[in-house]
């Protein structure tokens, strides 16, 4: 029914959208990195602020989205990434819309205390707390995601113009490092500076810097997976189809809308 390049786009797009959606919902949990790894608290001190290494659980999945972005960029160009990015934003808003709708449903009396033996005395309150994320956080996350994706695409192909097919690491990792720098600060600024919590500029810069350093390290560490992904795709598509897709992606960057 579909040729291999179409099947590949569907699979990559599915992972892209699925991981972004799951990351949004997992983002409600904040975890401490040092105890998770069995390490002593790091205790960072920046811009007059101090703290431990705490991140949202969404950081477990966003690196996969970054990898998918670079791979889709390489083979399907700017329009492929933009299509999936807009689709993802639409589905995130759709999902949260139904989450808020489900929160508003009257809970069954017997369900409210059904998990009291597990330390959850009020399931309705727990459900609302987990799925009812702040509107400011949702807006910040969506805006940061879109800006990050657009910047990633632009930087990726700008580097590619200079390197050609060489230096895959430069365009893949370089575009991720730049786009995630913007993403790290935009989401915090919209959600917590403009939002009702009204963070101070020092706290905003400190938390944003810590988050970006983490993403920087992860992006560098995942670079070998980019090469592995490309090798598997080239093997699946065949050299000729793979080359044609990459050439079309480059033309798309130069002439596409």
DSSP-derived 3-state class of residue 191? helix
Position of tokens 């910040």? 140
Model pLDDT for residues 78-122, shown as the tens digit of each residue = 889 999 999 999 999 999 999 999 999 999 999 999 999 999 999
Alpha carbon distance 218, 226 (integer Å): 12
257 pLDDT above the threshold of 70: no
- What is the pTM (predicted TM-score) of this model? 0.87
Q: Which two tokens stand for residue 23?
A: 């990351």
Other Cβ atoms closer than 10 A to 39: 11
Model pLDDT for residues 125-153, shown as the tens digit of each residue = 999 988 888 788 889 999 999 999 999 88
Q: CB-based burial of residue 134 (10 Å sphere; 0-12 exposed, 13-18 middle, 19+ buried)?
A: middle
Q: Give 255's pLDDT tier (boundaries 50, 70, 90).
A: low
Higher pLDDT, 166 or 146: 146
253 pLDDT above the threshold of 70: no
Q: Is 176 left (phi over 0), alpha (psi -120 to 50) or beta?
A: alpha
pLDDT of residue 205: 93
Domain 4-102+123-255, what fold? Arp2/3 complex 21 kDa subunit ARPC3 (1.10.1760)
Other Cβ atoms closer than 10 A to 35: 12
């Amino acid at each position: 029914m579909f040729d291999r390049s179409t099947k590949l786009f569907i699979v990559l797009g599915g992972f892209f959208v699925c991981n972004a959606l799951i990351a949004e919902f997992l983002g409600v949990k904040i975890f401490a990195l040092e105890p998770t790894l069995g390490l002593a608290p790091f205790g960072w001190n920046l811009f007059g602020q101090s703290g431990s290494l705490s991140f949202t659980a969404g950081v477990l999945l966003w690196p996969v989205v970054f990898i998918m972005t670079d791979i889709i960029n390489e083979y399907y160009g700017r329009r492929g990434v933009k299509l999936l990015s807009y689709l993802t934003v639409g589905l995130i808003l759709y999902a949260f819309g139904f989450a808020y709708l489900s929160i508003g449903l009257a809970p069954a009396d017997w369900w409210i205390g059904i998990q009291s033996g597990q330390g959850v005395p009020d399931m309705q309150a727990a459900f609302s707390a987990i799925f009812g994320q702040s509107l400011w956080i949702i807006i910040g996350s969506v805006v940061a995601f879109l800006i990050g994706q657009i910047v990633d695409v632009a930087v990726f192909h700008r580097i590619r113009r200079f390197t050609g097919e060489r230096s895959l690491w430069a365009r893949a990792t370089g575009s991720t490092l730049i786009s995630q720098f913007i993403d790290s600060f935009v989401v915090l600024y919209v959600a917590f500076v403009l939002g009702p919590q009204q963070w101070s500029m020092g706290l905003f810069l400190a938390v944003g810097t810590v988050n970006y350093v983490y993403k920087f390290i992860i992006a560098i560490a995942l670079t070998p997976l980019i090469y592995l992904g490309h090798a598997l795709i080239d093997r699946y598509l065949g050299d000729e189809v793979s080359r044609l897709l990459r050439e079309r992606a480059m033309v798309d960057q130069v002439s596409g809308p």
